[in-house]
Structure 1
Amino acid sequence: MLETLSNWYNKRFSDPDAIALALILLVGAAAIYFLGGILTPVLVSLVIAYLLEWPVNRLVACGVRRIFAVGFVLFVFVWICSAILFGLSPLIWQQAANLLSEVPTIVSRVQVYLLELQQQYPNLISTEQASTFIDDITKQMMQGGKTLVSMSFSSLFNLVAILIYLVLVPLMIFFMLKDKEELIRGCLRFMPNQRRLAIKVWLEMDLQIGKYIQGKVIEIVVVGLASVIAFALLDLRYAILLGVAVGLSVLIPYIGAAVVTIPVAAVALFQFGVSAEFWYVMIAYGIIQAIDGNVIVPILFSQAVNLNPVVIIIAVLFFGGLWGFWGVFFAIPLAALVKAVINAWPASSQPKLDEGV
């Protein structure tokens, strides 16, 4: 047993570059795990910097000095975000408040549907099962309402921190974009000298992460906008709230689409009942999901999502459990990172016995 472990270690870790790569990965993972809350503004700035790198490079290629290109792109980005924040957020909060106020009505309608279903199929659903199901739904709804209220109060207490982030994040984005090469050189000073494998993995992941972030933002906008338009044309209540929820659901591959289907179907069912309008909404929603999965995702993530769906779901659960939102957001790139490390890792660093003979 010890000899087997010794042989495995010699094959995998006798290369100094492999040891350096493992050390870099361990230190990076530990820093994010233990300092994730403190580093949140840095992570947000890094994600947005990756997103804005492409337009900055296009302007620089056209002859614009990098500092002016960064300033212009960042100004446009802040303006767009401000317009969305002050224009869309009040509508979303209003619709969320209206939906929350109608929770008792929704619960009573659920009760009516279940009682009718129990009367039609007494052998399928008993009275006790219907009552238990209604009680569970009521408790979940009340718990959800309390959670929203607590989140509202906590957001008020964190207002100062939010204001600080609104100043710090744009500043960090600006300097990350303007001084990109200088920052990279500074980081390399703290890296081990044996970093051949680390650089190989980084060059592969750098391109994938940039494309993934840009593609994910485009996917959120396209899917969310299409959902809002479709729901509004079908006269579905809370169209903006539900459309934004559908757009944000693409952050969690597979699982997000399954979860957001429940509120869409519930609102359509309680507004239209089991009628043609209800099925129109569900068909439109199904078409949007089909286009997203079979057209948008393959186009935007042809390189990043070259992974089995089971691997992606496991990555979402694993990295989401470790790092919360950021683990979920970067689940696919992190899974691709693991794959890149496995591919780059030396299978055997020992020379063969017959070499040089």
Structure 2
Amino acid sequence: MAIKEYPFYLKTTVILFGIILLVYILAALGDILVPLAFAMLLAILLNPLASWLQRHKVPKVPSILISLFSTLLLTSAMMYFLSSQIMAFGDSLPALKEKFGHIITDLEAWVYTHFGVNTQKQVAFIKSTLDGSKALVGRTLDTVLGTLSVVFLIPVYTFMLLFYKQLILNFLYEVFSEENSARVAEVLKETKSAVQSYIVGLLLEMVIVAVMNSVALLILGVKYAILLGVIGAILNMLPYIGGIIAIALPILMATITKDGYSTQLGVIIAYLIIQFIDNNVVFPRVVSVKVQINALISIVIVLLGNALWGISGMFLSVPFVAVLKIIFDRIDGLKPWGKLLGDNVPTRHIGEIWHRRQNRKTLSEEIVEPKKK
């Protein structure tokens, strides 16, 4: 039976509508899919501990509960530490607000002196800018509150995923044909290994960067150095974008709390050194990235993740695309997409090689054609 070949424009249109429909479904079901995605990553991370407990004669349900409780204990300790630092920051908020008002007044005078823009126009411009950013702030707050509201679903989802692990794995094996079982097993094994190594390495990197940030800010005398250092380390988990926001916070704090600009310059130099150490020493040695995603794709998917699911989407985008690359690399029709996501840059493109082959003369042509004098 002959297979009907559809025109290219028709296939492209169908694929485009399929992508639009998929994005719409992901956005509409974000409240359900976001905690489920985090639970899948957490389940993959806790699976070795739960399996180890079961191998040592601990029943299935208690082993899962022990794994979840240990994670909740560590998370609660971190939240308590951050909340204590934030409470100390709140006590100094009135003084910081007063100092920030003086800085704004001096800035208005400097703008009027050098650019001739009076105070009324500056205030009107700032007011219009703030009014335009209200929608963005509102979306960010909705995302944060929504994330906090579904955090309670993550342990439930994680428990269910670990409890029904064998059922899910059997489904994945049975849904594909028997000749593809070896390929499915390879994809599942590499996905589990890549996600586990990535998350564990990312957490270790966060601790190391938090210590380096805090020590640098303490030496420079920046207030709330530990809080800013930890926040900077958490933001550093967002590829390329988080580092820019992380360095802006201590600079703003130094501007409000200190006179002159030497501290701000010191913060910039210190954070640049820390970023260099992180990118060239800590990240390659600590974070075992088995699947390399190139910088262009990383930036694009982080921005797309933010547009789709907000802050949660920014954290989920990189491991999600890493899993996609593992799948693409093992399906013949999708291998070019896997290469596009990857970090292996070829020295020559295929078009150049094809052009050289087309222009290469055969031996008979070289014999027949006369040599140029």
Common fold: TM-score over 0.5:
yes
User: Secondary structure, in 3 states, of the residue corresponding to 1:70?
Assistant: helix
Once the two structures are TM-superposed, the CA of residue 298 in structure 1 deviates from its matched residue by: 1.7
The amino acid across from 1:177 in the alignment is L
Once the two structures are TM-superposed, the CA of residue 216 in structure 1 deviates from its matched residue by: 2.4
Give a deviation string over 1:209-242, Cα, whole Å, max 9, x none. 2222222222333323432343234331232432
The amino acid across from 1:237 in the alignment is K
Q: Does 1:206 align with 2:215?
A: no
Matches within 5 A, 1:121-160: 122=114, 126-128=115-117, 136=125, 151=141
Matches within 5 A, 1:1-357: 5=7, 32-57=26-51, 59=53, 63=56, 65=58, 67=60, 68-95=62-89, 98-99=92-93, 102-103=96-97, 105-113=99-107, 115-116=109-110, 119=113, 122=114, 126-128=115-117, 136=125, 151=141, 162=149, 166=152, 168-186=153-171, 191-193=175-177, 196=180, 201-304=187-290, 306-347=292-333
User: Secondary structure, in 3 states, of the residue corresponding to 1:333?
Assistant: helix
Once the two structures are TM-superposed, the CA of residue 106 in structure 1 deviates from its matched residue by: 1.6
Change (3 A) 1:198 1:139: farther
Change (3 A) 1:139 1:151: same
Once the two structures are TM-superposed, the CA of residue 52 in structure 1 deviates from its matched residue by: 2.2
The amino acid across from 2:46 in the alignment is L
Change (3 A) 1:26 1:97: farther
Change (3 A) 1:96 1:241: farther
Q: Give the number of the structure with larger relative contact order, counting CA–CA contacts within 8 Å between residues 6 or more apart.
A: 1
Alpha-carbon distance in 1 for matches of 2:151, 2:262:
47
Q: TM-score, normalization: structure 1?
A: 0.69
User: Secondary structure, in 3 states, of the residue corresponding to 1:128?
Assistant: coil
User: Secondary structure, in 3 states, of the residue corresponding to 2:31?
Assistant: coil
Change (3 A) 1:314 1:97: farther
Structure 1: gaps (5+ residues): 10-22, 349-357
Alpha-carbon distance in 2 for matches of 1:251, 1:232:
22
Give a deviation string over 1:6-59, Cα, whole Å, max 9, x none. 7x98xxxxxxxxxxxxx9x99987764432212333233222222323444555
| Structure with max Cα Rg | 2
Give a deviation string over 1:167-192, Cα, whole Å, max 9, x none. x5334333433442233224555x35
The amino acid across from 1:102 in the alignment is L
RMSD between aligned residues = 4.4
Structure 2: gaps (5+ residues): 12-17, 335-373
Alpha-carbon distance in 2 for matches of 1:305, 1:217:
17
Change (3 A) 1:40 1:263: same
Once the two structures are TM-superposed, the CA of residue 257 in structure 1 deviates from its matched residue by: 0.7
- Aligned residues: percent identity? 23
Change (3 A) 1:297 1:130: farther
Once the two structures are TM-superposed, the CA of residue 253 in structure 1 deviates from its matched residue by: 0.6
Count of matched residue positions in the alignment of Structure 1 and Structure 2 = 319
